[in-house]
Structure 1
Amino acid sequence: MSDPSSHSAAAADSPAVFDAVVVGAGPSGLVTALALAYVARGTGAKIGLVGPAPDETAAAGDTRTAALMDSSIALLKQLGIWPGLAPVSAPLEGIRIVDSASPFFAAPDVVFRASELGLPAFGYNIPNPVLVRALYEQARQAMPVAAGSVSHIDIAEDHARLVCTDGREIMTKLVVGADGRNSVCRKAAEIPVQEWRYPQKAIATRFRHSLPHEQISTEFHRPSGPLTTVPLPDANESSLIWVVEEDEAERLVTLSRADFAAELESHLGALTGPISDVGEIRAFPVAGMTARTLTGPRTALVGEAAHILPPIGAQGLNLGFRDAGWLAERLRPVFEGSGDAGARPVLLAYGDSRQMDVMSRTIGVDLLNRSLITRFPPAQAARGAILRGLKSLPMLRRFAMRAGIAPPTPLPPLMQSQA
């Protein structure tokens, strides 16, 4: 692990010892490490992080963004990170739903506005590389960091031993698995998962357009999946998540940038005007996964080590941030009392905090995606009826907005907006 005062990673002769070590340096893992360091401040508890530094070469071509809802922004504010991110983030003041999934049951466009809830914005859209870089630099200031990965974990009754790829060993009371779909931490704790695939791929890129986005994200509900544009700080630039059938994705990624722009404009032109300057185009499988439990022996899971959702409604990363907030909240009294961060009652309390939120988001996103790709007329009619209700009934629309940006259970204190 590195010394946070020197920012260098030097292997020690004997294993470093920690109360909790976060494994994984994606946004969810970094936020979790920072949240744990925040609640451990002044207690003597030791928090560590194992994860590779951001790859600046790869980041240069990464056009993905993170649409973080209001509660996630509140967490970044609490951790002191938001001031540096605010200037490079775009507010999401409105969300437009355009229903084109069925020619027979299409509903009118619905626009949800944050002002209806008394909010300046539902959240903010942040370029992924910028977010990761800011979080990683803050982590290096706050805790020892091993800039590598974990190859093996041994779990004993009162501790876990992590073996890093460079041979160094780390001892910890608690392993926090934030190491993604193929989590080494989850496998070491023998936590089973349920996985499923959709016949779709998601295309991610960014593009310029002649008409301003007016801080409104637009989600087209189409038979192959949603096509979503999300505002970037430049009023004439947006990020794109385009979910299509797998064969169509293979065709689209082989197009020239100009041909891709023309294809995209054929779908969006009425809202965006002419499209140009398409960025790096990448395609990702659309899949789902949930761990049967978020905890195991000496292990807690967060982010995509715990759950993976289709890219609909910006739910996935915000769910991971709430994992971070609740894990920090459950560990706060443990750190303050010099207790055992990996004790079974502590882990069960964390799992109970997350069960309803994870289940409701997983089911909700899955049903929405399947309702788009289904050819079953009653399901198409039901979706259209719901959208019509949202269009015409302000009370129902406000209820749907609150449900979309906040979980069905209370937020952890770190994620509650400060008056």
Structure 2
Amino acid sequence: MSTHTADPVDIAIVGAGAVGLAAALALSREGRSVALLGPVATPRDGRTVALLDGSWRLLAELGVQDALLAKSAPLSLMRLVDDSGSLFRQPPVEFRASEIGLEAFGWNIENADLTTILADKVGKLPGLRMIPGFVRAIEPEADGIRLSGDGFALQARLVIGADGRNSQVRAAAGIESRDWRYPQVALTGIFEHRRDHREASTEFHTRQGPCTLVPLPGRRSSLVWLLEPSEAENITALDDAAFALRVERQVQSLLGAMTVSGPRGKVPMGGLSVDRFGADRMTLIGEAAHVFPPIGAQGLNLGLRDVAALRDALEGASDPGSEAVIAAYDAARQTDVRLRTGAVDALNRTLLTDLLPADLMRGAGLLALSQIGPLRRFVMRQGLAGGAGR
């Protein structure tokens, strides 16, 4: 172990992505000393996030809603279109936020804009330390966890791993994970289009995975398109004009003529789950704890629900890294994370198979949602359940 003096803090957060930044804002408000470790990166790669109602309320509590409004578009309608070619293909199903008394299901914003806004807010908090260096070592000590890296050494009573799929914190805590891959690559991009999106998000379910258009301000939308890897490579090789035309045809000219209006990205698809969400003064949030395909706008929203659950577990605790806090947080996340990971995984896998029983189940489900109002409203509320607001 290192013998250099380490600065004491109550909470150290490893990872300065959107979830780590939100955690820093949420937890520093409780009067504890907080350090956020790692560089803030805001690459523009065509990726966006639909901040669902609960996440939106949490971010409003953290004082960033006005800044987010200037960069985001509301999602008032979500549409599912079966484009799988199944024998049991059903008509499109529409979910309207007004059906459950909401103005919008959420607001869609570019990842880079969300991270920039959160980082700007974090940087203005006088009691919150931002250390851009990478963590090189995580060592348990008698009364806390020692973290050291380029030019810093800290001792924290609680360490939060917001450091992604290959989490150092998860490894240091000895938390087992299960990792898997899908035969898919997600293409991302931002487009301008001739027709107004009317605040509607449309998800086409194809045999290679979902192809989703989500509104952005103006006549702009973001794309997430899951494809078989070789097909993704072929489409990636197209120039912007040919790519836009290919996307327009894929979405059945829903928004008219399209043009690429920002960077494009390509992301291999996979999943990750953990057996527990904390151990030995360390907890996991965001993609350090769960990873799954971008279906149903659940990914980053689940990470923000982690933040809210951890905030609640810490409330009133004299020792933020106590066994009681770790146990309360783990108990709060087990059911929510496992159910949503399982649901997204199951839907994605039914799209990738042409087995008749899977098609029949999916088709029957869509038919029931389109015809049974109470069931549709129940599913909408469940999609937004576990909201990150108090």
TM range (shorter): over 0.9
- 1:296 is aligned to 279
- Does 1:313 pair with 2:304? no
Q: Tell me the amino acid that sits aligned with residue 147 of structure 1.
A: P
Q: How does 1:141-160 map to 2 (within 5 A)?
A: 141-142=124-125, 143-160=128-145
Structure 1 contact 269–275 (Cα < 8 Å) conserved:
no
Aligned match for 1:22, one of 4, 13, 16: 13
Q: How does 1:156-305 map to 2 (within 5 A)?
A: 156-164=141-149, 166-234=150-218, 236-305=219-288
1:209, CA displacement in angstroms? 1.1
- 2:83 is aligned to 100
1:136, CA displacement in angstroms? 0.9
Query: Against the structure 1 CA distance between its residues 283 and 307, is the aligned structure 2 distance closer, same or farther, given a 3 Å change threshold?
Result: same
Q: Tell me the amino acid that sits aligned with residue 21 of structure 1.
A: A
Residue-pair matches, total: 385
* 2-structure distance, mates of 1:109, 1:399: 18
* 2-structure distance, mates of 1:102, 1:406: 32
- 1:7 is aligned to none
Deviations 1:332-374 (A, max 9, x none): 211xxxx211111110110001110001001000001011111
1:129, CA displacement in angstroms? 0.8
Structure 1 contact 257–278 (Cα < 8 Å) conserved:
no
- 2:74 is aligned to 91
Q: Tell me the amino acid that sits aligned with residue 135 of structure 2.
A: V
* 2-structure distance, mates of 1:76, 1:135: 9
* 2-structure distance, mates of 1:349, 1:297: 13
> Which secondary structure does the structure 2 equivalent of 1:262 belong to?
helix
> Which secondary structure does the structure 2 equivalent of 1:202 belong to?
strand
Deviations 1:360-411 (A, max 9, x none): 001000001011111111110110111011111111110111111113xxx5
Deviations 1:85-134 (A, max 9, x none): 11211000000000012331111001100000010000000111111011
Aligned match for 1:386, one of 346, 365, 372: 365
Structure 2 contact 86–359 (Cα < 8 Å) conserved:
no
* 2-structure distance, mates of 1:66, 1:254: 25
* 2-structure distance, mates of 1:197, 1:390: 30
- Provide the identity percentage: 43
Give the unaligned 5+ runs of structure 1.
1-12
Q: Tell me the amino acid that sits aligned with residue 151 of structure 1.
A: R
* 1-structure distance, mates of 2:310, 2:346: 28
Aligned match for 2:36, one of 35, 39, 49: 49
* 2-structure distance, mates of 1:230, 1:208: 12
Q: Which deviates the most, 187-196 or 217-226?
A: 187-196
- Does 1:344 pair with 2:323? yes
* 2-structure distance, mates of 1:390, 1:135: 37
